Every structure is written in structure tokens, then in C-alpha cells.
Amino acid sequence: MHPKQRLENHYLEQRRVQFDFSHTPEHWIYDNPFATHLINAVHLILPVGELWMCRSFNEALPYVTDEKLRADVKGFVHQEAHHASAHKVAQDYLRHYGYEIDDFITSLDTISKQLNTAPLGLALPQNLAYRWLTIRVGIAAAVEHFTTMLGTWCLDDQPWQNKTADEMMSDLMTWHLAEEVEHRSVAFDLYMHLCGEKNKTFAYLQRQMIMLAVAPGFTFAIYQCFKKLAQQDAQAKRYQNYGLLRSLAQTAIENARSKQVPSFFSMIFSLRHWVKPNYHPFYEGDTFKALQVIDNSPAVKALTQLRVC
Ligand SMILES: [Fe+2]
Ligand SMILES: [Fe+2]
């Protein structure tokens, strides 16, 4: 754990915000099917991925000897579990507009189960099971690097504001990404704790290897989801036959044009931080800014009012 973060004395809380997408239009980023389908890709991936992280983190809890880290891990699990629930509601919005997404979600679920306690159903001896646990937490830390970058982009560039997008979906995405910035250090701190103080070099080398798999895997998964959604939308015809590279290039074009999506290249460029031996997510985002955005979320405000009543 970074000393500065310990000084922040910040404890994570689960905000059980609710969203209603019954009035959300199909293209919730108005007149922008490319941006809508690209951002909607997260509704397909995140519930499976976040619950997978929760299971791994719960499994890691008995090995955590630092009290603050234990509290952070519990707070992280509570936040991610509610993110998954919120995006499941957004999956119903996609089903409402006739998008077939269930086969894809089932395939992702099967993959996540194969990456669980025993990879591919193998029975591992205790020491290898522990090593596999550190790898799974390392995968979570690598994914959290990208969600932190997405969150920082969202807090800085403020996409989906000023009546350019549906307020309810914008609120879901902004609240979620702000909480990603808020809990950005937990997966990395847990990974380093599990690897142990004496194994910093090994932990560094292992996390580089993990990122070599996670960066292309995460990119390809988002692309597959985007393609799956775009192919079911007559208004997205232009993008239906885009290959991976063309789609990635389009993120940069769309980022420059409308700022409604992050540029893939800035995400990849952020890996220059990850490769530094002294990398720590604390430096990748601004907790104060994230908390300000969370406090201004209409869904969070509604929750606060409910508590007062
Ligand atoms: Fe999340
Ligand atoms: Fe997260």
C-alpha cells in the first residue's frame, strides 16, 4: 500500500445506486451508434469479469494480514459486486431493443469459470494453487489499470454531458468509472501483498507477463462485443465490417471528433507507467476528483436522500 494512500485514511463504501433505463433510447449517445456500441460493450463484459474478481478476492482474504488492506479488499468486493448488478440492468436495456447478447455472455461466463480456483479443472497442490491465486489477482490488477485509465479519462474529459447523451446511462457510466478511480489501488496492493515483500522482483516480472496477455485479451473482448452489437443495428452498417485495426483507429478519430469514447492508443500509451518498477496506481488518478463526481451523481444523491428520509 502506498504510504500516501494510507494517509488518505479513505475507506471504500458500497453505494447501492439504482438505475432505470426504461426511457433510455437505443443510441444513448445521441446520433452516435459507434460510440454507443463501443461503450455498451462493457455491459456484456463487466458483470462476468467483476464477479470473477470478487470470487478471487474473497479467496485471497484469509491471506491478508494488513487490517487496512483487508478493509480495502472487502470494500472493493462490495463495490464491484454492485457494479455488476447495475450493468446487468443495462443488459436488459439491450434485450429490450432486441439485441441477442445471451450466447456471448454465456461464453464469457464459461471462460471465467475455467479461470477460477483450478484452471481448466486441474487439481493443484497447495503451493501452485497459491501461485495461481496471485496470478488471478495480478490479472485483476492489470484490468484495473485500464479501468483506472478509463476513469481518469472520464473525470477529465467529461464525456456524455451537456445533453449529448441519455442522462441515466451517462450517470451509470460516470458513477462506475469514478468508483474505479476511487478503488484503483486495491488490486495492485493485494497482488503485492500476496507476492510478499521479499519477492518484489518476481512480482514485477510476473505482472509484466500478465499484462502481455491482458492488454490484447481485454482489447479483443471489447472489440468482439462492439462488433456483436454493431452487427445487429441497421444504423451502424458502416461499422459492421470494420476489422480490429480499423475499429481501434476509429476510437482515435471519434475521440478527436466528439470526445465520447476514449482513444485506444492513449490506453496503450498508459502502459509506459505500468512497466516502471515503481509503478503504483495511486499516481494514476485523483481520489478527490472521483469523490466529487460521485457526490454529484443523480443516483448517489437519490440514495443519500433516501437515507435521510
Ligand atoms: Fe467496476
Ligand atoms: Fe474496479
> pLDDT tens across 21-59, in order?
999 999 999 999 999 999 999 999 999 999 999 999 999
**6 occurs within a structural domain:** no
Strand partners, 29: 165
C-alpha 76/C-alpha 12 separation (Å) is 7
- Full residue range of the structural domain in which residue 209 is found: 29-308
Ligand 2 centroid vs 187 CA: distance in angstroms? 8
**129 occurs within a structural domain:** yes
Determine whether 92 is exposed, middle or buried from the number of CB atoms within 10 Å of its CB (0-12, 13-18, 19+): exposed
Confidence at residue 60, expressed as pLDDT on a 0 to 100 scale: 97
Confidence at residue 126, expressed as pLDDT on a 0 to 100 scale: 86
**16 occurs within a structural domain:** no
DSSP characters for 105-159?
HHHHHHHHHHTSSSGGGPPPPHHHHHHHHHHHHHHHHHHHHHHHHHHHHHHHH-T
Ligand 2 centroid vs 241 CA: distance in angstroms? 31
**Cell numbers that stand for 75 in this block:** 470494500
Please give the chain's pLDDT, 309 residues, in tens: 555 555 467 899 999 999 999 999 999 999 999 999 999 999 999 999 999 999 999 999 999 999 999 999 999 999 999 999 999 999 999 999 999 999 999 999 998 888 876 777 778 888 999 999 999 999 999 999 999 999 999 999 999 998 999 999 999 999 999 999 999 999 999 999 999 989 999 999 999 999 999 999 999 999 999 999 999 999 998 998 899 999 999 999 999 999 999 999 999 999 999 999 999 999 999 999 999 999 999 999 998 777 766
C-alpha 114/C-alpha 41 separation (Å) is 22
Ligand 1 centroid vs 140 CA: distance in angstroms? 11
Number of compact structural domains in the chain: 1
Confidence at residue 8, expressed as pLDDT on a 0 to 100 scale: 62
Confidence at residue 124, expressed as pLDDT on a 0 to 100 scale: 82
Confidence at residue 304, expressed as pLDDT on a 0 to 100 scale: 79
Confidence at residue 9, expressed as pLDDT on a 0 to 100 scale: 75
Ligand 1 centroid vs 58 CA: distance in angstroms? 16
Ligand 1 centroid vs 133 CA: distance in angstroms? 20
Q: How far is CA 136 from the centre of its chain?
A: 15
Ligand 1 centroid vs 122 CA: distance in angstroms? 29
C-alpha 261/C-alpha 273 separation (Å) is 22
